[in-house]
Amino acid sequence: MSDALKFPPGIAYIDGDYRAMSEAKISVLDWGFLRSDATYDVVHVWQRRFFRLDKHLDRFSNSVARLHMTLPFDRDGLTDVLMECVRRSGLDDAYVEMICTRGVSPIFSRDPRDAVNTFIAFAIPFGWVANEEQRARGLNLSISDIPRIPPQSVDPTVKNYHWLDFIAGLYGAYESDAENVVLVDLDGNITEGPGFNLFAVKDGRAVTPESGVLEGITRTTALELCRELNVEAVTGTLTAAAVRGADEVFITSTAGGIMPVSKIDGHPIGDGEVGPVTQRLTALYWEKHSDPAWSTPID
């Protein structure tokens, strides 16, 4: 293989078989490739345990049904495939993705009902939205004026690959020396970033956007952990001004959990340090990874 084309270690399941990541390919005629007609979900494995697997399976199954797609097996069969991908990969900490695309029409029909859906899963090494240094000091996040695709057009609760608005926002963030980005809605209120939700803490109260966002599993987890820590946490409208004036800001993602934000557009949040609510939530989040009520061992 060319040095210019490398693949991460891991194992994929496609066309009913397990294979190396370099061999996991779909047709150029697949609507998932041609039209971004697909849904997916990502669950992570930490120290050989899936975290909140049932919630990810629920969301993926609901997304598949909402898009009028079907899977080639039931929930137990899906779980078996994900488990086997991890087992064959040999990874202790993994990023595990499940995908269903519209697939290919045998007659190249433009009617989506004629397509045969494609299911893919893979396990690769665990990845982070924020690197180790950023997690220690907090991210420098940019608030873009690019609006997120409105929910009236694409339902954000169905996890999807419509990311061109995020990509445009990321390039704008990089040009201003920020490290990541969050987009606004058509009214200028905060929505989400590429692969993460956002929380702002003010006077001990945490708020995360209620609408126009993916209802992230880690977002839900953070709300539950706040209740456990007796921290008031709600979903609601979150303005850009409220984020800039917050005492603490953090993001949530399967790819890293609960991660601090210390700057918005280069200006410090609070005292510019990782705040106490964020620290407490982060510690409890990782403790839950060994709790049988929250995690599932690789059997």
How much is the average pLDDT of 108-130? 96
The predicted model gives 238-242 an average pLDDT of 98
pLDDT digits (tens, 9 = 90+) for 138-191: 999 999 999 999 999 999 999 999 999 999 999 999 999 999 999 999 999 999
> Which of these CATH numbers, 3.40.50.1370, 3.50.30.10, 3.30.470.10, 2.170.190.11, describes 11-125?
3.30.470.10
The string of pLDDT tens digits covering residues 58-112 is 999 999 999 999 999 999 999 999 999 999 999 999 999 999 999 999 998 999 9
Q: What are phi and psi of 207, to 5 degrees?
A: -130, 135
Question: Position 263: which residue type?
Answer: K
299: confidence class by pLDDT, cuts 50, 70, 90: confident
In this structure, whether the domain defined by 132-289 belongs to CATH 3.40.50.300 is answered with no
Looking at every residue in the chain, the average pLDDT score rounds to 96
Whole-angstrom Cα distance, residue 143 to residue 271? 19
One fold for both 11-125 and 132-289?
no
Q: 265, 255, 171: which is closest to 214 by C-alpha?
A: 255
Predicted confidence (pLDDT) at residue 7 exceeds the cutoff of 90: no
Contacts of 297 (CB under 8 A, 6+ apart): 48, 49, 50
Q: Which residues pair with 41 in a beta bridge?
A: 98
Where on the phi/psi map is residue 208: left (φ > 0), alpha (ψ -120 to 50), or beta? beta
pLDDT attached to residue 120: 98
Domain-wise residue ranges, the chain: 11-125, 132-289
Specify the pLDDT at position 5.
Answer: 63
Instruction: Write down the pLDDT at residue 1.
Output: 47
* 267-281 confidence digits (pLDDT tens): 999 999 999 999 999
